[in-house]
Structure formats: structure tokens, C-alpha cells
Amino acid sequence: MSLTITPLSPALGAQISGIDLSHPISHETRDAIEHALLTHQVLFFRDQPINPRQQAEFAARFGDLHIHPIYPNVPETPQVLVLDTAVTDVRDNAVWHTDVTFLPTPALGAVLSAKQLPAYGGDTLWASGIAAFEALSAPLQQLLDGLTATHDFTKSFPLERFGNTPEDLARWKATRRNNPPLSHPVVRTHPVSGRKSLFVNEGFTTRINELSETESEAILKLLFAHATRPEFTIRWRWQESDVAFWDNRVTQHFAVDDYRPQRRVMHRATILGDAPF
Ligand SMILES: O=C(O)CCC(=O)C(=O)O
Ligand SMILES: [Fe+2]
């Protein structure tokens, strides 16, 4: 099998063809995909009608899988969570975020499969934290490198929206207890490529710890805006059976919420990562 890798924008994104994700992949193919992921940060595959088990098997070639504390999952394959607008309030994904940075070891990456789409709308955007960091001036890079920031699960999962039934409330409280606010470096070094990436996101980052509150607020505002400038992003227009695979260590993403009341259903397998440094 020979992969074709077509870059889609200067900052990040490539389309991969010449592969069938419904079958186990060879070691060589796995390594080629990992290499492409390190280079392009988000990969897109068209026409991959995979079931949840095949999706989980593919994702598990890159690491152990995470079971999300809040989102519903596929009962037979709990490593695959379901983002279905008919079931779940998915508005929290319509903010720029890096997945699960409220964990001490946020996800390495995720594999997202499009199951049911609106006629149009429902695009997803990704932004490269590497491109964003590299575009900062040297003095600002120096200031940020070495700082830490607080990440808090409740910023994207507020009690008002996720505690509506007694079961939801109990789950939210348990998740809150198990995931107290924690700190990560503001500038993260990719554990494999060694490249530096901005690692704050509007979804979960609440505070730069070493700065005063007003300084933190102003700098975070600047960084959230800078990190998502159009030239650091790619926007994907989904077709059914598309699969996206992103490196969650150096990117953030935004699911555009512009299509409801049409239904949109996505399946996600999330790969566990390591502690940022
Ligand atoms: O629905 C999407 O396109 C992406 C949602 C999202 O943020 C995620 O799956 O992590
Ligand atoms: Fe996400």
C-alpha cells in the first residue's frame, strides 16, 4: 500500500489517500501516518466508512485510548464517544480548544469519524500552536517560555449546562472532584519532534499563574486571538465517512455550530498522551 500525502495549507493539514482504515494497518503504514501527523499536525482521510470497533483499533495503534468522563459513548465500544446533536449539547466544541487539557496527561490525539452531516455547515477548524508560537516576536516567546497556566474542566463544562438531571449532576460532581484545576506549561515542547507550541486554549485555560490577574487576562486574550489567526488554521468541510486525525499536543480546534436544528453525528476515539513539558 502506498500512501499519498497532500498538504492542504502552509500551517497544518494534509490529506492522506491510498489507505483503507477498516483493515489493520502494517507497522510501516502506522509509522508513515505518525510521521505525517508530526509534520502536518492534522490528517484527513476521505471515504473511510469504519465502524466503532475499526475506529478504536486504528486509534489504538498510536496509544491507549481514553474514556471520556462526560460524553456518551458507543456501548459496545466505550472508547468511542458520540457527538450527536440529537443527544448531547455540543456547543462546548464551538470554542477554540485543545481536548481534555484539564487532565494531567491530555490526549495525544484523536480520530474523528463523520457519521451524519447537515447538508452544509458543521465544518471544523484546526489551528497550529507551532505556527502560532513561531510567529511571536522573540521577546514574547522568551517571556512565555517557562510560564505555566491553569486549566479548568468547568470552563467548558459549566454546571448550568451539564448538571440538569440528577445523574448528570452526580457525574459532573464526580468529574469535578477527580479533575481539580491543574497547571501546564504555556509553551509546550512536542515530546517526539521537539518543536515548541503555544499550549493555552480558550476552552480550558483560565489563568497564567506567574502573572497578576490583569496581566494574565490581557496576555491570554492576546494569545487566544493570535493562536487562531486565519493563517495558522485550516477549515475542513466534511463529507460522510471522512476521518480526521489530529495531534492534540500542538493544535486546537473549533467545531462550527451553524447548522442546527439539522442533525450532525460524529464518533471520536481519543488517544491518551503524556504530561506536557
Ligand atoms: O464535532 C467536531 O467536528 C469536533 C468536535 C470536537 O471538538 C472533538 O471531537 O474534539
Ligand atoms: Fe474537541
Q: Is the pLDDT of residue 1 over 70?
A: no
- State the average pLDDT over residues 38-60: 98
Q: Is 249 among the catalytic positions?
A: no
Q: What share of the chain is helix, strand, coil (3-state, %, to 5)?
A: 30, 30, 45
Q: Is 20 among the catalytic positions?
A: no
pTM of the model: 0.96
Q: What is the number of the ligand closest to the CA of 201?
A: 2
Q: What is the pLDDT of residue 163?
A: 81
The residue from 68, 97, 176, 190 that is catalytic is: 97
Q: Which residue has the cell 490581557?
A: 218
Q: What is the pLDDT of residue 55?
A: 98
Torsion over CA of 161, 164, 167 and 170, rounded to 10 degrees?
Answer: 60
* Binding site membership of 112 for ligand 1 (Cβ less than 6 Å): yes
Please provide the DSSP assignment of 92-112 as one string: GGSS-B-TTTTSSS--SEEEE
Reported as a single tens digit per residue, the pLDDT across 111-139 is: 999 999 999 999 999 999 999 999 999 99
Distance 1 CA to ligand 2 centre (A): 31
Q: What percent of the chain has pLDDT over 90?
A: 88
Q: What is the number of the ligand closest to the CA of 90?
A: 1
Q: Is 99 among the catalytic positions?
A: yes
> How much is the mean pLDDT over the chain?
95
Q: Is the pLDDT of residue 69 over 80?
A: no
Q: What is the pLDDT of residue 164?
A: 82
